[in-house]
Amino acid sequence: MTDLQAGLVAAVSGDQRRVSDGESDRALHAADSSVHRPVRPELVVSPSSTGEVSAVLAVAHAHGVPVTPFGAGSSLEGHVIPVAGGISLDLRGLDRVARVAPDDLTAVVGAGVTRSALAAAAGPHGLFFPVDPGADATLGGMAATNAAGTTTIRYGKMRANVLALEAVLPGGSVIRTGSQAPKTSAGYDLTGLLVGSEGTLAVITELTLRLHGIPEHAAALRASFPTVEAACRVAVAAVGAGVAVTRLELLDHAAVEALNDHLGTGLPVGACLLAEAAGAAGAVGADLGLLRQLAAEEGAVEIVDERDPDARARLWQARHDVTYAMAASAPGRKEWSTDTCVPVSELPGAVAFARAELERLGLRAPILGHVGDGNVHVALFVDPDDADEVGRVAELVDRLVGDALARGGTCTGEHGIGLGKVAALEREHPDLLPLYRGLKHLFDPRGILNPGKVIRLAD
Ligand X SMILES: Cc1cc2nc3c(=O)[nH]c(=O)nc-3n(C[C@H](O)[C@H](O)[C@H](O)COP(=O)(O)OP(=O)(O)OC[C@H]3O[C@@H](n4cnc5c(N)ncnc54)[C@H](O)[C@@H]3O)c2cc1C
Tell me which residue of 423, 397, 399, 424 sits closest to 410, measured CA to CA: 424
Share of the chain residues as helix, strand and coil, in percent rounded to the nearest 5: 40, 20, 40
Is residue 66 within 8 Å of 368, Cβ to Cβ?
no
Hey, how many other C-beta atoms are within 10 angstroms of the C-beta on 39? 18
Q: Which residue's CB comes closest to ligand X? A: 141
# binding residues, ligand X (CB under 6 A): 37
Q: Using CA atoms, how far apart are residues 118 and 162, in angstroms rounded to an integer? A: 14
Q: CB of 145: closest distance to ligand X in angstroms?
A: 4
Sign of CA dihedral 168, 443, 211, 416: negative
Applying the rule CB under 6 A, the residues between 20 and 39 that interact with ligand X are 33
- The neighbouring-strand residues paired with 303 are 223
Stretch that binds ligand X, among 4-12, 65-73, 116-124, 386-394 (CB under 6 A): 65-73
Query: 90 or 298, CB closer to ligand X?
Result: 90
Q: Which of 138, 177, 224, 410 binds ligand X (CB under 6 A)?
A: 138
Confirm if 76 and 377 have CB atoms less than 8 A apart: no
Nearest distance in Å: CB 129, ligand X: 13
Interface characters, 297-326, with ligand X (x: CB under 6 A): --------------------------xx--
Which residue, 122 or 294, has its beta carbon nearer to ligand X?
A: 122
Q: Is residue 373 at the binding interface for ligand X, with CB under 6 A as the rule?
A: no
Work out whether strand 67-70 and strand 87-90 pair parallel, antiparallel, or are unpaired. parallel
- Contact region for ligand X (CB under 6 A) — 22-30, 116-124, 195-203, 420-428? 195-203
Shortest Cβ distance from residue 296 to ligand X (Å)? 29
Among 79, 233, 407, 421, interactor with ligand X by CB under 6 A: 79
| CB nearer to ligand X: pick between 111 and 288 | 111
- In which order are the strands placed within the sheet that holds 271-279? 302-306, 217-225, 271-279, 245-251, 367-370, 375-382, 334-337
Rg (CA), the chain: 22
Give the separation between CA 77 and CA 392, rounded to whole angstroms.
18
Decide: 55 and 11 in contact? Cβ < 8 Å. Answer: yes
Does residue 149 belong to the site contacting ligand X (CB under 6 A)? Answer: yes
Which string of x and - marks every residue 398-437 that binds ligand X (by CB under 6 A)? Answer: ----------------xx----------------------
Positions touching ligand X (CB under 6 A) are 33, 68-76, 79-80, 91, 111, 133-135, 137-138, 140-142, 144-145, 147-149, 198-199, 203-204, 323-324, 414-415, 450, 453
